[in-house]
């Protein structure tokens, strides 16, 4: 590769050696050949030294990078952000798996994975952030959940010129997109790509394995008063479907629809899904006394109940493939051994 200075050197040499002696003058006197060559080399040395000094101290032009979030908001950075606040447990987990958790200065309530974030300041929940606490931590970037973040709080922070990203998580492809998006903005592209490829590979292997098998219908019972489940706008709807099941409320165009007992009986789920860690009446033990009153529901009649850690099934983050594997093994016990091999990254 020829630099600008090397090219200029060649042109300069040609200019000094192509003219006749009488064509070059200094103080109205013709320059002698030896003097001309000495001047040429002196100029070349000065030019070379200048070139070295320019290479040793490159000029930083301060390039601004722009990223677009799921509200079509433009976030602009002159340099990669270094102080991050996550107002969503699933986002906290993503930042952890792409090895960027050291940048976190604050996290939402119930953000305790990876373990390194447990001692960080808490900035409220993902549906009720503590605006004053967020501002006091002077973040370069605040990441919030599309389904939970109050728009008034998002706008308030943005009016203070804070970079606030709002990310959507309604399906598995959104989770992969969020991993790569955060990898780009936090300069963790390699780590994000590795995580995303690994998740996509295992997810697709399990989905393909159970795709053509008979599909049991299922109800994910989140709460009882009122009865709340997951609809078409929840990523858990896709999760049940991709695990080889049918979500009986998947035709409802909401994230978390409310149901009546009569509607559940009519839809006749083969399986009831519960989550642990919710506490009290929300756990399976707290809900079963209610559901066992309705023995005309196939899941109750056949005692087909599934219990999954709420941190795994309820968070649209990198551990979602674990929830897929657990559901698929319960929906299709005959495929359990193969699914376990996939989760260990072994050959099926």
- Residue by residue, pLDDT tens for the chain (348 residues) are 434 344 333 433 334 333 333 433 344 333 454 554 554 455 444 444 443 333 333 333 456 899 999 999 999 999 999 999 999 999 999 999 999 999 999 999 999 899 999 999 999 998 999 999 999 999 999 999 998 889 999 999 999 999 999 999 989 999 999 999 999 999 999 999 999 999 999 999 999 999 999 999 999 999 999 999 999 999 999 999 999 999 999 999 999 999 999 999 999 999 999 998 766 678 898 999 999 999 999 999 999 999 999 999 999 999 999 999 999 999 999 999 999 999 987 543
Looking at the structure, do residues 229 and 336 belong to the same domain, yes or no?
yes
pLDDT of residue 34: 54
Looking at the structure, do residues 145 and 230 belong to the same domain, yes or no?
no
CATH number for position 284? 3.40.50.1980
- CB burial readout 150-181, b (16+ within 10 A) else e: eeebbebbbeeebbbbbbbbbbbebbbbbbbb
In a domain, 176, yes or no: no
Looking at the structure, do residues 259 and 335 belong to the same domain, yes or no?
yes
In a domain, 328, yes or no: yes
In a domain, 296, yes or no: yes
Looking at the structure, do residues 122 and 160 belong to the same domain, yes or no?
yes
d(CA 211, CA 214): 9
Three-state secondary structure call for residue 297? coil
Looking at the structure, do residues 18 and 78 belong to the same domain, yes or no?
no
Give the residue numbers spanning the domain of 11: 4-56
Looking at the structure, do residues 78 and 26 belong to the same domain, yes or no?
no
> How many degrees, rounded to 5, is the angle at CA 93 between CA 88 and CA 94?
95
pLDDT of residue 342: 95
Q: Indicate the number of domains in the chain.
A: 3
Instruction: Return the sign of the alpha-carbon dihedral for residues 331, 201, 85, 153.
Output: negative
pTM of the complete model = 0.78
In a domain, 174, yes or no: no
Looking at the structure, do residues 308 and 216 belong to the same domain, yes or no?
yes
């Amino acid at each position: 590769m020829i630099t600008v200075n090397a090219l200029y050197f060649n042109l300069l040499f040609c200019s000094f050696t192509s003219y006749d002696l009488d064509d070059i003058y200094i103080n109205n006197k013709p320059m002698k050949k030896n003097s001309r060559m000495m001047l040429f080399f002196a100029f070349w040395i000065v030019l070379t030294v200048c070139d070295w000094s320019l290479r040793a101290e490159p000029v930083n032009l301060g390039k601004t990078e722009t990223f677009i979030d799921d509200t079509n908001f433009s976030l602009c950075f002159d340099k990669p952000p270094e102080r991050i606040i996550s107002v969503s447990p699933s986002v906290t987990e993503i930042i952890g798996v792409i090895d960027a958790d050291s940048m976190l200065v604050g996290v939402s309530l119930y953000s305790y994975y990876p373990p390194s974030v447990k001692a960080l300041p808490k900035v409220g929940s993902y549906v009720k952030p503590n605006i004053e606490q967020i501002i006091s931590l002077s973040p370069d970037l605040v990441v919030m959940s599309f389904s939970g973040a109050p728009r008034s709080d998002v706008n308030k922070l943005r009016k203070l010129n804070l970079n606030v990203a709002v990310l959507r998580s309604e399906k598995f492809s959104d989770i992969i997109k969020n991993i790569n998006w955060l990898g780009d903005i936090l300069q963790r592209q390699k780590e994000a790509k590795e995580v995303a490829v690994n998740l996509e590979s295992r997810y697709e292997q399990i989905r393909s394995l159970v795709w053509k098998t008979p599909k049991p219908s299922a109800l994910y019972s989140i709460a009882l008063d009122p009865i709340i489940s997951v609809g078409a706008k929840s990523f858990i709807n896709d999760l049940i479907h991709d695990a080889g099941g049918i979500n009986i409320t998947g035709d409802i165009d909401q994230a978390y629809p409310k149901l009546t007992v009569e509607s559940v009986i009519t839809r006749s789920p083969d399986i009831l899904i519960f989550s642990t860690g919710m506490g009290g009446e929300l756990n399976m033990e707290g809900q079963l006394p209610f559901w066992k009153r309705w023995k005309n529901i196939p899941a109750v009649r056949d005692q087909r109940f599934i219990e999954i850690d709420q941190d795994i099934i309820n968070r649209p983050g990198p551990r979602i493939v674990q929830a897929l594997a657990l559901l698929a093994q319960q929906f299709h016990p005959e495929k359990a051994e193969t699914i376990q091999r996939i989760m260990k990254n072994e050959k099926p």
